[in-house]
Amino acid sequence: MAVLTQDLLLHAERCMRHEDVSKKYMLAGLNRTLDEWLCNSFAELIEEIELWKWDYATGDFWSRLAKALQQSNIRLSHVGRVVGQQTGISAYHWKNELSSATRSIRECKMRIKRIGGSRLDTDSEVWGHDQTTWELMWAGEAAMRKSIPALRKVGYESIYDLPRIQQSYREKALVVIPPAMRICATLNGDQRVQVLIPVVQGLSQKQRQLMQHDFELVDWQGLKLSGHQPRGGNEIV
Query: What is the tens place of the pLDDT at every residue in 180-227?
Result: 788 777 778 888 888 999 999 999 999 999 999 888 888 888 887 754
Res. 233 pLDDT band, cuts 50 70 90:
very low
- What's the burial of 156, exposed, middle or buried (CB within 10 Å: 0-12/13-18/19+)? buried
Whether 90 is in a domain gets the answer no
Whether 46 is in a domain gets the answer yes
Domain span holding position 74? 2-85
Predicted pLDDT at 134: 82
Res. 130 pLDDT band, cuts 50 70 90:
confident
- Whether the per-residue pLDDT at 153 is higher than 50: the answer is yes
Predicted pLDDT at 142: 84
Residues 232, 126 within the same domain = yes
Domain stops at, among 85, 106, 131? 85
Residues 80, 114 within the same domain = no
Residues 120, 212 within the same domain = yes
Percent of the chain predicted with pLDDT > 90: 8
pTM: 0.68
Stretch 38-57: mean pLDDT, rounded? 80
Predicted pLDDT at 80: 54
Average pLDDT value for the chain? 78
Domain stops at, among 23, 53, 85? 85
CA separation for the pair 148, 127 (Å, rounded): 28
Predicted pLDDT at 237: 37
Whether 44 is in a domain gets the answer yes
Domain stops at, among 85, 109, 126? 85
Whether 218 is in a domain gets the answer yes
Whether 16 is in a domain gets the answer yes
Residues 153, 227 within the same domain = yes
Stretch 39-61: mean pLDDT, rounded? 81
Res. 236 pLDDT band, cuts 50 70 90:
very low
Residues 118, 212 within the same domain = yes
Predicted pLDDT at 209: 92
Stretch 35-54: mean pLDDT, rounded? 81
- Whether the per-residue pLDDT at 29 is higher than 70: the answer is yes
Whether 92 is in a domain gets the answer no
Please tell me the chain's helix, strand, coil percentages from 3-state DSSP, rounded to the nearest 5: 50, 5, 45
Residues 42, 120 within the same domain = no
Residues 125, 220 within the same domain = yes
Whether 49 is in a domain gets the answer yes
Residues 61, 116 within the same domain = no
Residues 113, 200 within the same domain = yes
Residues 122, 230 within the same domain = yes
Residues 81, 142 within the same domain = no
Res. 118 pLDDT band, cuts 50 70 90:
confident
C-alpha distances out from residue 32 to 7, 25, 26, 38, 45, Å: 22, 11, 10, 10, 12
Count other C-beta atoms under 10 Å from residue 109's C-beta. Answer: 19
Whether 192 is in a domain gets the answer yes
Residue of 208, 209, 170 whose CA lies nearest to 190: 170
Number of domains comprising the chain: 2
Res. 98 pLDDT band, cuts 50 70 90:
confident
CB 227 within 8 A of CB 192: no
Residues 81, 35 within the same domain = yes
Predicted pLDDT at 92: 47
Predicted pLDDT at 235: 45
CA 93, chain centre distance (Å): 11
